Structure formats: structure tokens, C-alpha cells
Structure 1
Amino acid sequence: MAAPGFPPGFGAPVSGTGKIAYPKHFCRKTVDYSACTVRMLKERTLCPEREASPYTLDASPDAAVEMLPPNGTLSNAAASACTRFVHSALNKDRSSVNAGCWMPDGRRLITASYNGMFTLWSGFSFNFEATQQAHDEPLFSLCWSRGGEWLLSGDGAGTVKYWQTTLNNVKEVSPHAGAVRAISFCPTDTYFATGSDDGTVKVLDFERGTTVRLMPGAGLEAGKSHRWDVKHVEWHPDKAMLASASKDGSSKLWDPRAPREAATLHQHKGPVTQVRWHPAGRYLLSGSKDQLTRLSDEAAAFKGHKREVSALSWHPVHAELFASGCHGGAVHFWSTTRPEEPLSSCHGHGHASNAHDSAVWGVEWHPLGHLLASFSQDMHTKFWSRARPGEPRTAPRDEEEATERCGLRDSNSPLLLLR
């Protein structure tokens, strides 16, 4: 006879005490954007004038049904700052998480660890899905092609591997003698650029896997692009232009067709760790060991970090919003219109003052813009979402503080977080 609550043919599970031991039920934290996206499409059809007007929410949980995705609330970029802690993911093989990127469809996140492994995490419930030994050396860089068909990974031995969307390795090239710190595709996916600890920036033909051009630095010995390690490189969103950051304290602009660099920028007083082109290609954002983030052509300096800036990422929808991470474990959100102070910051679970316990090596926005993933030397990958209706933009450190501050009115329009 079947036990109560069990399908026919299944006996009642009995514990060592002789009592029926029913399976434990628990709710996993989930962030699903489906309902919000459907509502946005419905309102665009029935109320097209809503897009041109400010959209605010009541400061109560009942307002959750009115929430829209980031591209449905274009009037308020600050509402998309992901300050609410959702989940902390820790791989069984404990190792520093050096890089990560979302799948093009946003359904999964891939992280690259110091032990050379790929780890896949769900983009909805954030649970572990799979691991794969990708390299024999530490992994430092990941990059999807613009078309979303190929993934490139770079390791500490100077090797770059080609991966299909199914994570099948189809090719391997070794363009550098040092660790490959960054990879970036050109707008047409025909070529990709790499930056390495050997002090060089190279452009490779994607199909052949051969080096097309070594970017030679002016006044340097042959075979060098910078005087010291190249920490990052990124291709312009739609032009034949490269930007590179180096440990020598400079960032350079390159035309792949020219024999020398197009320009050398000396905006920082320390090693430059990151460069990120504005999504529209208007500005170049750079972070440095001098604890500053600077925006080229705007003479804007973003001061807020107490350690060197190690990670930068522009929001995929709101062009004025970007996130930054530092060696101290802090993650801040900034607006290009307000460089004086951060819009908000991430606080770790419990009473932690920072997002992570040690250096943040990367921050990556979900393609829709409603989630942020951060990767750290503390071996954790953390997921952050927008605040719920009524919660302030600066995340509380615990649930008691959240309850006390719930009366504050806020115009955030987050996705529903089920717990």
C-alpha cells in the first residue's frame, strides 16, 4: 500500500526511529524575467505612451506585479543597479574564479578558475550544473564572439582555445609566451585581439588561428607593445580600433592597419588594470591601481574604491551606468552623470561590508541587465539582483535592516525574487 502523499507503488520511507521520514522540501532562490518581459510587451501594445513617461512603483510588495525589465524603465538608470544579494556559488574544487561570462541566451553563466576548469551555473536558480577541465594551466580570460557562436579562453601558458556553444573544444593556438590576460573580437568576428603578460598585443585571424599583426609600440624593442605586462585589451564596438591597458601605467589606442599606436594615454599614476569601451563607442573607461576610474574625453574621475580597481563593466541597456570591483572586495555602481560618489554598492550576505572577502577579478551583467555576477579570489561567484519595491538602492546588510527601511519609497523596478 502506498504511503500517504506518495504515488502508488512507492512504500513509505522509514527512518531509524520507525517513523515515516518524508522528503524535505525547500525553496530555492529564483529570479525569472518571463512575467516582467511579457508585461512590458503587453504595455507597449496597449499603452505605448508609457515608455515616454516616468515609471515608478509603490513602496509595497504588492507592486511586484507592476515590475518591468531594465529595457522597460529607460527613464531611471539607477533603478538597474543590482545591489541585492541573491546567491553565493562555490565550486567543489576550491580555486580562485578569475573570469566569467554569460551564455549569449542568458540561461547559464560560465566561470573560469585558476585550476583550469569551466563551471556552469544556472541563470535562473543559480545552482551548479556542470564542470569541465578546459585547460591544464590557470584560466584568465573568456570571450564570446559577437555572433554568440564561439567561445575563446586564454590560460597562463599563452594558449587560446576555441569552444562551440556545447563546450566542445575544436581548436587550440599558442600566440603568446606569457599568460593571456584578455581576448576581444572585432565587430565582424573575422579577427580577435589578445593581450598578454609578455607585453604584446596581437591580432589573430579567427578562421586560421594565425597571428596577423603584432602591435609594435613606439620607442620599444622589437616585439613589444608595452613596456610591461598587458593587463587588458578590448576592440571598439564598431570601428577598427583597439584599446589596451598595461602595468607600465599607460593605456594605448591602436589601429590594426597602422605601424604604430594611434595614441598613448597617461591618465593614471599607477598600473592600468582595465579598459572598457562605452557601448556606443563614445568614451573609454579605465581603471587603475591608483584606486581611480577615469572616463576619457570627459575629464571625469570616479573616486570611491579604497584598493586598486580590478574589474569594470558597462550596463547592457543603460549607457550611463557601469559597475566596478576592486582588490578590497567592493563592488560599486556609478553613473557617468554623477562621478562624485557611487550610486550604490553591494554588501555581502550577513554583516559583510563588501561584496567579497578578497579581490574581485570580474563583474559581468546579464544580457538583459537585471542581474550582475561577480567573480573573486575568495573562490566564490556571487549573483546580485535589483532591489524589490520599497527597498532602497543601497542594499541592507541583513533582513532586519531591510524591514526597518522598507518604508522608504523608491522608484526601482526589479524582477521578483522568490525565496
Structure 2
Amino acid sequence: MSQRPSGDRHAEIHRQLAAALAELVPDDPHIPPHPYLRRHLAQHAAQGRVLDDAHVPPALLPWESSSALGRLLAVGDSPSARQQWLQAWAKLEPYSHNLSPMSRLTSLHLAHHAATSRHKPRMHSHSKPTPFAGSPVSPLWSDCASPDNVWALNDAAVTSLTTVAPGRRSKSRTLLVTGDDHGVVRVLRHDGSTAVPPIAVHEGAVDHLLPLHEGLLATGSTDGTVTILDAPRGRTIGQIHQRPGTWVSSLTLYKPQNRAPVLLAAFSDGYIAAFNTAAFQEVDIPLPRLERAAALLRGTTLPDGSGLLLYAQHDTVSCFDGRAALTHSRHPATIRALVALPAPGHYAGGDTNGNLFLHDAASTRHPRMARADKAMNGPITALAMVTVDDRQALASAGADGTVCLWQTHPLEPIGESLQAHSAPINALTSLSGRSGARLITAGADRTVRNWPLTGNTFQHGRPAWNPITASALSSGPAHLLAISEGTRTLTWDIDTGEKRPVIDHETVTALAWVRVHQRMLVAAALSDNSIVILDPNAERHSSTEVRLKGHYSPALALEAVPGSGRSSLLASGSADGSVRLWDLHTHEPVAVFTDHKFSVRCLASTRTASGALLASGGSDGNLRIWDTTSLTQHGPTIRCDQNIVNDVAFEPSDDRTGRQLVTAGQVGTLKLWDLESVAKPVHEFNPRDGDLNAVTAFRIHGRRVVFAAAGSTSIHLWDASANRQLLQIVIGYPVNALRVAPHQHSSEPSTVLLATGEAGTMIFRVHHDRL
């Protein structure tokens, strides 16, 4: 029997295999590689310690099917310049399971550009050859952050997290369990893959997960029920309690005096139910009497080993020793998170004002307290004890999507805050594996993320993103980007890279480019309810600045209305429920439409033979069409049945007599409407990507209309005439605005698309002949 090769010899064999297999990958990424290469090439490269772009060519990545590239990179050496394509793909990998190879190729092309060409002008961003010359898109400009450390992608907001040990007789490793807003529980392995099929458990959100023993798990939901699961086997043991008209506010284990530990469930009406942990039958034990309000429960012990129950209601933490309840501490705001610390009697909490505090419940006469005022910018949403560099620490998460680490004696931050999610973080836990301890975070952005639990991760942190509140792209010939980030608005020339500030120290809620006297000007809606018209080439605060006033709340949408026989028109839709038309030559209002009941969130316009039509939609769920010539409503109000109408787009104008437009709704659907018959939509498209926040349209091959819609993670290109999806472009974060402009300097037909979201801005060409 031959001996197993030594470590170096074993790695050398895999190096040779990886090098030989890489030669077999087709240069054209449109050609599918052999299934063995798709499945195993990255693993050979990793075992040969040559996991880089040369041994795993970029042309393979759109077809790579091991779903383990991110894990292989995580356990290898630190990222290097030789892994740029691999690192870009690893960030997209969790989103790739249902993508076509063309969608993978497109997403990877844009992700690599975003990672390597931030803020570079177009003439320099293409200096390096790309293996994706035949991609349906060509990136032009980017200020977009790539998705970081996404471990798993969920169908709904993730509301709870925990870990379970499979049991003494199982050889499986610890598993991660998630609960979501749709009542589904998922059990995940260390690489983020699913260990068992998703378990539909509740009618409401699974807000609480509590590990018990031998892989069993208690779940609590907003439907008022508590259920027991066998997580490793993916089975529901049974519902043990239901309290109609309430929700489960907390679950914990608690050890009463002289009794075995029990499972406690608190409900929103202040009721507490106790169950033994063997048969899960309800037991009668002494418990504190609570107010008729939701409570947070945490079981802990005192220094003498006796059990202690901590409970928080409103701004107060109390403790119960089995005989009497005692109010222990009061705080500046409602307590949102409560956790027992390893030291007996110690606990930590966080409130809705962002304050973090530590207490010693064992010292009732002179309670010891440490507090970090305004530890986070916004409510503290979750707390967890973790181990960092072999030392215990407290992790706190907030509604602003950030995570902080704290040492507890004394209470001081470890490093800087980490921007972990683009939405509120709902849950935290930690997981130990071969690559070391990891911090697992889950949030309302539907992702579960995985961070190394080391001081280095938080040493420099990562600053919170400045929210992009508005953006607009000029129609050309030179494409100018106007963008508002935080309280600053500037313009970029994406061809030259030149930028120019136009507004400082003011929040802008909407932007649009308008043409007046053959000049391209910027219209900006300000937080003081006015709209300012600026020449981006003039000196700031010059006499050419014009302010339009009339709204009672900030305008949320601006739209340049195409020529209709009148002077240049600007439409504005406001949170005050009105739509206004402005004459940009006289700076006077032309019309005011007040028919919407709530905020007007979106506007779109189109040219017709008799003038221009303007569409408006908003929070009342209705779509209205306005004739800008007669200044009256055109046709009946369209009841969209999409909850909030987030955006609207007309099909591009042509000589057809019919007029169609599409609405993007909060319920996650696109609906195509024909203005000649608005009783029901012509087609409906649901990409299953959360809320659809934005939509725009362009025409390809003469008569085909493509609508681009933005969801929680991707941009979806939909061929309305064929009612089919053409392409899904993964961004990894919600996109809030989409705009198109024709591309006038190309031998082939294409459209320039602007996508602005929570992670930044991206501009790219869509090649019509490649769709």
C-alpha cells in the first residue's frame, strides 16, 4: 500500500492539477466549462495554496457551482491583488443560486469594476483588459460598495438567530438557526448552506429562538404561539402554548429554587407561562406579577448559585429571586435588549435612545452601574456575549446597521463601530469553527453576515454610509451625474472625473436635470420645502440661483416634462400630497393637483401627439395621469393594489397610439397598465426580491420595451411584451433610484443606466444586441 503524500507533496499535486485544469477553461465566459471544472477547480487550487485569479480564471466564475468559494477564501491567506476576481465573486456567491450564467457574468463584471475603479473616469476605468468583453453591460462609473461577508440570503427579513448543538450522539458540528418575518425557520451549516429544508412554523414573525438540549429549540412568534423544534432533523415537535391576541415578547431558561430549570415565555399582555424541559408541560411555579405590557426575560444566577429572574418592562429592570420582586434599575428610555453576563448577577441592557448599561443585581443596596451614553446612533436592537481574542466581550447592534464590541470591566469600546448591514440589525450570535470564532449578524436587509471575531476586525471599523437621498443623470452628450450624499450635493462628469460641489449643508430630497435656454441646470428639492434651480457651472450662491416655493412639505420627486407647446416645465410631487407644475422661464406655478390623499412618491412623463402626460403615484396606492396641456386629469384613477406605489415609468415614446406604463409596488410586483383600459394590468411581474423601489424603461430592437426594476438586492430587466425576465444584475444592497439616458457615442445601440442605492452609485451601458 502506497503511503499518503506529505503535506508539501500533497499541495504540490493539487497545484499541478489546478494549473492543468485552468488551461482547460474556455477563454470565452459564454462557453460553459466542463462540469468537473465548475465543481472542483477552486478546491484543487485551495488545497494547492494557489487560490488566485490565474488558477481559477474569471471566465470560470459565472459557471462555478461548488458554492464554497467564499469559505475557501476565508480559511486561506489574506486577500491579495491576485484574487480580485475571486473576491468579487465570493461576495456575490450567496445571491447566485438561482441566477442564469448570463446574470452571473453581468453581476461579476460590475462588482469587479466597483471594487477596482471607484470614482475613476471612464477613460481610465477601462485601461485594463477585461475577460468579459461580450457582457451585456459595460461599467462606466462607480461609487458602490460591494456586499460584505454575506453568509446567507433569506427570503424575508431575518428576525432571530441562535446556535444549536446536534446532541451527544451526533457527529455534526454546531448549526446556526435563523427565524424570519414570514414565520420560517432555517438551519444552516458553517458554510452557510442549508442543513435541512426550511421549516414553516408560525403565522407571524419568528422573533425568538432559544436552544434547549439535544438539538431541541423553542420558538416564539408574533402570532402568540410557542413551538418546539428538533432543529438538526428539521422537524416540528409540537406547539406547547398559544395565547390569542398577543405576541411572544421573550423566551428564557430559569432555575427556580430547589427545582429543575424551566422554560419561560413572556407575552405582550404581561402573562408568563412556565414549562418543564422534558415533556414541555406547563408547570405552576412562583413567578412575578407583571404589568399588562411586553417584557424581556433573562434567567441568571446569584453568586451563591441560586436562580434569579431578570425582567424588563418599559424603562425598568427588576429581579425576582423566587420569593419577591425588586425594582433594580431605571433608565432614560424603553429597554430594547437585555442579556445576562457570565459574572453571577451581572447583566447588560440597551435602550431605544442608544444607551448601553451594565448592572450588578447581586448588590441591591448600592447597585454598581456602568453606562455608555449614546453608545449607538439610534436604538440598540440586540446584545450578545462573544469571545474576542480569547477574552469575553459584549457585542451590541443597532437600528443604524452598526455593530460595536465592548469590554465589560470597565465598560469601554473595543476598536471602532462596524457598518455591518444597510438596515436595522435584529439579532446577533457567535459561532466557532476551523477558521476561528465568527460574529454572525442578521438584519432587515434579509442577509445573514459573518465577521471574524478579532480585535483587528474592529480596529479601524468602517464608517457608516452617508445616505444618498437623491440622484439624477443628464441626457448627454456628456453625461453628468448629480448626487446628494448626506447634506452635500455635487456633480460629476463621468467622462473626465471632474466633480463640482453645488449645495452644502442642506438636505436634498429629489434631483432632476432640466434644460432652460439650451442650458443644462440642476433642480434640487430642499428640506425647507423649496425647490432650487442651479447652474452647476456658475459660482455657488450666484444671482442665477432661482427658488420655487409653494409646497408645504419637501418634494420627494422631480420630473422634467418634455416639450408640450408651453415653456419648459418642471413637475414636483411632495409629501404634502400635491403635484405642482412650474414654468422654468417665468418661475411661476402653472398648476397644482391635490387629489392624492398621502405623499406623492414618484413622477414620470411622456410626450404625445397632443402634448405631454404626467403620471404620479404614492402612498395612497393610486396612480393618476395628468394632461399638462389642458391641466386636467387624463382618464380614471388607477387603483394599483400594490400598497405604496414606489415608482412609475412610461414606455418610451413612439408613434403608437396606445400608451403603456408600469408601476413598482411595495408588495414586490411590477404591473403593466394600458391607458386605454385600466381596469386590470396587462401583465404582472414578481422577481421575488422584496420591495420594488424603482423602475425605468428603454426600448431595444425598435419596438421591444425593457423595464428595469430595482429590488432589495438586484436590478431586474423585464421584457414586457414577452412577459419574461431578461437579466438579473446583483448589487447586494437595495437600489432606490433608476434613471436611463441614451448613449450617443457608440456604433452599437445601447442605453446608459444609473442605479443609486444604499451602498452608492453605479452607471453602466446596457448593450441592446447582447440581451
TM-score normalised by the shorter chain: which range applies?
Answer: 0.5 to 0.7
Counterpart residue number, 2:177? 110
CA shift, 1:85, in A, is: 5.1
> What is the DSSP-based 3-state SS (H/G/I as helix, E as strand, rest coil) of the residue aligned with 1:212?
coil
Counterpart residue number, 1:278? 341
Per the normalisation by structure 2, the TM-score is 0.37
CA shift, 1:251, in A, is: 1.4
- Of residues 129, 133, 148, the one that matches 2:200 is 133
Verify the 8 A CA contact 1:176 1:198 in the aligned structure 2: no
Q: C-alpha distance in 2, partners of 1:241/1:319?
A: 25
CA shift, 1:33, in A, is: 11
Give me the CA root mean square deviation.
Answer: 3.7
Q: C-alpha distance in 2, partners of 1:292/1:18?
A: 53
Q: C-alpha distance in 2, partners of 1:153/1:160?
A: 6
> What is the DSSP-based 3-state SS (H/G/I as helix, E as strand, rest coil) of the residue aligned with 1:143?
strand
- Of residues 225, 231, 234, the one that matches 2:298 is 234
Q: C-alpha distance in 2, partners of 1:179/1:14?
A: 56
Verify the 8 A CA contact 1:87 1:126 in the aligned structure 2: no
Which is worse superposed, 14-23 or 287-296?
14-23
* Cα deviations by residue, 1:338-359 (Å, 9 ceiling, x for unpaired): 434443332xxxxxxx211222
- Of residues 375, 398, 401, the one that matches 1:329 is 401
* Cα deviations by residue, 1:70-97 (Å, 9 ceiling, x for unpaired): xxxxxxxxxxxxxx95324212x2x111
1:132 alignment partner AA? I
Bigger-Rg structure (1/2): 2
- Of residues 194, 200, 210, the one that matches 2:282 is 210
Counterpart residue number, 2:254? 186
Structure 2 residue 142 is matched with structure 1 residue 101 = no
Structure 2 residue 365 is matched with structure 1 residue 300 = no
Within a 5 Å distance, the mapping from 1:78-97 to structure 2 comes to: 86-91=149-154, 93=155, 95-97=156-158
Q: C-alpha distance in 1, partners of 2:407/2:385?
A: 10
> What is the DSSP-based 3-state SS (H/G/I as helix, E as strand, rest coil) of the residue aligned with 1:279?
coil
User: Residues 383 and 31 (structure 1 numbering): CA distance in 2 closer, same or farther, change over 3 Å?
Assistant: farther
Within a 5 Å distance, the mapping from 1:235-250 to structure 2 comes to: 235-236=299-300, 239-246=306-313, 248-250=314-316
Within a 5 Å distance, the mapping from 1:48-67 to structure 2 comes to: none
> What is the DSSP-based 3-state SS (H/G/I as helix, E as strand, rest coil) of the residue aligned with 2:411?
coil
> What is the DSSP-based 3-state SS (H/G/I as helix, E as strand, rest coil) of the residue aligned with 2:307?
coil
* Cα deviations by residue, 1:320-363 (Å, 9 ceiling, x for unpaired): 411001111111001113434443332xxxxxxx2112221111
User: Residues 200 and 17 (structure 1 numbering): CA distance in 2 closer, same or farther, change over 3 Å?
Assistant: closer
CA shift, 1:148, in A, is: 4.0
Q: C-alpha distance in 2, partners of 1:34/1:310?
A: 30
Counterpart residue number, 1:315? 386
User: Residues 382 and 216 (structure 1 numbering): CA distance in 2 closer, same or farther, change over 3 Å?
Assistant: same
Counterpart residue number, 1:76? none
> What is the DSSP-based 3-state SS (H/G/I as helix, E as strand, rest coil) of the residue aligned with 1:137?
coil
Counterpart residue number, 2:682? none
* Cα deviations by residue, 1:248-279 (Å, 9 ceiling, x for unpaired): 21112123x32x41x21333111111221112
CA shift, 1:28, in A, is: 1.3
Q: C-alpha distance in 2, partners of 1:86/1:18?
A: 28
Q: C-alpha distance in 2, partners of 1:355/1:17?
A: 32
Counterpart residue number, 1:350? none
- Of residues 155, 161, 168, the one that matches 2:221 is 155
- Of residues 448, 461, 474, the one that matches 1:381 is 448
> What is the DSSP-based 3-state SS (H/G/I as helix, E as strand, rest coil) of the residue aligned with 1:215?
coil
Q: C-alpha distance in 1, partners of 2:274/2:349?
A: 21
- Of residues 142, 162, 165, the one that matches 2:209 is 142
Structure 2 residue 257 is matched with structure 1 residue 201 = no
> What is the DSSP-based 3-state SS (H/G/I as helix, E as strand, rest coil) of the residue aligned with 1:111?
strand
> What is the DSSP-based 3-state SS (H/G/I as helix, E as strand, rest coil) of the residue aligned with 2:162?
strand
Identity %: 15
1:300 alignment partner AA? A
Q: C-alpha distance in 1, partners of 2:300/2:162?
A: 19
User: Residues 339 and 388 (structure 1 numbering): CA distance in 2 closer, same or farther, change over 3 Å?
Assistant: closer
> What is the DSSP-based 3-state SS (H/G/I as helix, E as strand, rest coil) of the residue aligned with 2:270?
coil
Verify the 8 A CA contact 1:202 1:214 in the aligned structure 2: no
> What is the DSSP-based 3-state SS (H/G/I as helix, E as strand, rest coil) of the residue aligned with 2:401?
coil
Q: C-alpha distance in 1, partners of 2:394/2:194?
A: 27
1:30 alignment partner AA? R
- Of residues 238, 250, 253, the one that matches 1:171 is 238
User: Residues 268 and 21 (structure 1 numbering): CA distance in 2 closer, same or farther, change over 3 Å?
Assistant: same
Structure 2: unaligned runs, 5 residues or longer: 1-16, 18-23, 39-59, 81-146, 167-172, 361-367, 464-771
> What is the DSSP-based 3-state SS (H/G/I as helix, E as strand, rest coil) of the residue aligned with 1:30?
helix
Verify the 8 A CA contact 1:140 1:155 in the aligned structure 2: yes
Counterpart residue number, 1:269? 332
CA shift, 1:305, in A, is: 0.2
Per the normalisation by structure 1, the TM-score is 0.66
> What is the DSSP-based 3-state SS (H/G/I as helix, E as strand, rest coil) of the residue aligned with 1:102?
strand
2:331 alignment partner AA? H
2:317 alignment partner AA? S
Counterpart residue number, 1:28? 69
Counterpart residue number, 1:410? none
CA shift, 1:394, in A, is: 2.8
Q: C-alpha distance in 2, partners of 1:17/1:372?
A: 36
* Cα deviations by residue, 1:169-211 (Å, 9 ceiling, x for unpaired): 2221225442112211235864111122112333223324214
Which is worse superposed, 175-184 or 13-22?
13-22
2:186 alignment partner AA? T
The structure in which a higher percent of residues are strand is 2
> What is the DSSP-based 3-state SS (H/G/I as helix, E as strand, rest coil) of the residue aligned with 2:210?
strand
Q: How many residues align?
A: 319
* Cα deviations by residue, 1:218-275 (Å, 9 ceiling, x for unpaired): xxxxxxx135221x211115532111122x21112123x32x41x2133311111122
CA shift, 1:142, in A, is: 0.5
Structure scoring higher RCO (CA < 8 A, sep ≥ 6) equals: 1
